[in-house]
Amino acid sequence: MAPGHYFWAIFYFACLCSASLANNAKVNFREKEKKILDQILGAGKYDARIRPSGINGTDGPAIVRINLFVRSIMTISDIKMEYSVQLTFREQWLDERLKFDDIGGRLKYLTLTEANRVWMPDLFFSNEKEGHFHNIIMPNVYIRIFPYGSVLYSIRISLTLACPMNLKLYPLDRQVCSLRMASYGWTTADLVFLWKEGDPVQVVKNLHLPRFTLEKFLTDYCNSKTNTGEYSCLKVDLLFKREFSYYLIQIYIPCCMLVIVSWVSFWLDQGAVPARVSLGVTTLLTMATQTSGINASLPPVSYTKAIDVWTGVCLTFVFGALLEFALVNYASRSADRAADMHRENMKKKRRELEQASLDAASDLLDTDSNATFAMKPLVRHPGDPLALEKLRQCEVHMQAPKRPNCCRSWLAKFPTSPLKKVPCFGRGKCSRSKRIDVISRITFPLVFALFNLVYWSTYLFREEEEE
């Protein structure tokens, strides 16, 4: 080819490129979007009251696919049995009436902010208590229409949803809270909800809850049949595990400390009545206040919870320690009365013996008118007090020695008085009230330890069964 021909070919190609660039520069895609919207949504061309056709333009039900993004879970209330969640809710369906020309792939989608311009599924949250949209700064909602007629609806909403709870294992429990979505008016013959393939539910990373941990979530279908027909339904089950460390620090350890403090009364002297009474009453009132505070944060249910068993037994131990002092005080006063009676009897017998000895001496020294001594018989009468006393001494010495009791000999190692070292089970050396205190020092901790073993093994095993 001649050099002139090359020149003209290059010049012609440059003119075409410049014309194409000029045309592109003149195209206003926003105007194109307006024209397309007027074309597909104009009066008499699109009716938002009519649902889209089924798959491949058939008369089957419209298929709507759902996916969620959980932004946050604010509160989980035990007393109201509800939880609050903020999420981005998305629906996607195909409406062939909304197809448009994408200008060679230059228009990826059209965006709308008015949901009433197109047909919308009549979805509602069946377990919703309260809910609201977000309108700061503008309404957090958009609709995207794709060239092949697909519609994507996205909105940010906050919901308060009902969550029926089973609190039998509280606070060692797990709770399942559901999020249910269903069609209100369209039956399954006209509208079917399906989960989006792949990952229909997403949860924000680093989701922190005050007293719960989100272990996992499951998606499922929950179609319901009523007198008016069958309606499509979707649900998300959120499995929450209660954080036990909070309750261990706030409830279990303080209750254990109160029970142990009530045992200090067993080591106080039985004569310290004000100290033992004030200690018992103070621990009892504190334990009752703790129990009422726990019940105030829970709903009044008809069954017994694990925390009720714990607080009830702890309250019983504290009350038992107070009753133990009442028994010790009663036994002490009874022993004092018996000791007083015994002392009076001993004094009375001693006076009788002294009087009898004086009478015997006066009889021996007594003489009659003939200056002869009156001889008394050497044999004592059956009612003679001196003969009775000698007889008792003989019986004491002739009694066979009793076999030692192993329990008493072991418990005798625990003296009731650290200064006098008086053994509690020595005959005649210790009162019954001190024996009660020593037995309580051993019995109460052993029974409480046994209760802890049974309690934790029972409820932890039941928790594994529930899981």
Q: What is the pLDDT of residue 43?
A: 75
Token pair listed for 411: 């418990």
How far apart are the C-alpha atoms of 385 and 389, rounded to whole Å?
Answer: 6
pLDDT on residue 136: 87
Q: Residues 435, 437, 438, 443: what is their CA dihedral angle, to the nearest 10 degrees?
A: 120
End-to-end alpha carbon distance in the chain: 85
Looking at the predicted structure, is the pLDDT value of residue 79 above 50?
yes
322, two tokens:
């107070």
- The 3-state DSSP class for residue 248 equals helix
- pLDDT at residue 401 in the model: 56
Mean pLDDT of 439-454: 94
Bridge partners of residue 85, in order along the sequence: 73, 159
Which of the pair, 333 or 418, is modelled with greater confidence? 333
Q: Of 467, 447, 462, give the one whose Cα is nearest residue 168.
A: 462
Q: Is the pLDDT of residue 102 over 50?
A: yes
The string of pLDDT tens digits covering residues 243-298 is 999 999 999 999 999 999 999 988 888 778 888 888 989 999 999 999 998 888 88
pLDDT band at 157 (very low <50, low <70, confident <90, very high): very high
In sequence order, the 6+-apart residues with CB closer than 8 A to the CB of 437 are 266, 267, 270, 324, 328, 416
59-85 average pLDDT score: 93
Taking a C-beta distance cutoff of 8 angstroms, is the pair 389, 353 a contact?
yes
Give the separation between CA 340 and CA 111, rounded to whole angstroms: 103
**DSSP string for residues in 31-50:** HHHHHHHHHHHSTTT--TTS
- pLDDT in the model for residue 259: 95
Label residue 145 by pLDDT band (50, 70, 90).
Answer: very high
Q: Within a 10 A sphere around the Cβ of 212, how many other Cβ atoms?
A: 21
Of 10-19, 46-55, 70-79, 368-377, give the lowest mean pLDDT range. 368-377
What is the residue-averaged pLDDT of the chain? Answer: 80
The pLDDT assigned to 405 comes to 63
C-beta of residue 182 within 8 angstroms of C-beta of residue 123: yes
**pLDDT over 70 (residue 20):** no
Token look-up 């044999």 returns: 379
pLDDT attached to residue 379 = 47
Torsion angle defined by CA atoms of residues 24, 28, 33 and 39, in that order, rounded to the nearest 10 degrees:
-90
- What would the two tokens of residue 466 be? 């529930």
Give yes or no for a contact between 181 and 193, defined as CB atoms under 8 angstroms apart: yes
Predicted confidence (pLDDT) at residue 151 exceeds the cutoff of 90: yes
Check residue 424 and give its pLDDT.
45
Q: Read off φ and ψ for residue 176, nearest 5 degrees.
A: -110, 115
Token pair, residue 205, equals 């990373």
Digit-coded pLDDT (tens) for 338-391: 566 667 777 777 777 777 777 666 665 554 444 444 444 444 455 555 555 554
Bond into 171 cis (ω within 30)? yes
Q: Which residues of 365-394 are buried (b: 16+ CB within 10 A; e: fewer)?
A: eeeeeeeeeeeeeeeeeeeeeeeeeeeeee
Least confident of 128-137, 170-179, 400-409: 400-409
* pTM, entire model: 0.71
Is 288 or 22 the better-scoring residue by pLDDT? Answer: 288
Beta-bridge partners for 225: 230
CA dihedral 111, 113, 116, 121 (to 10 degrees): 70
Calculate Rg over the CA atoms of the chain: 47
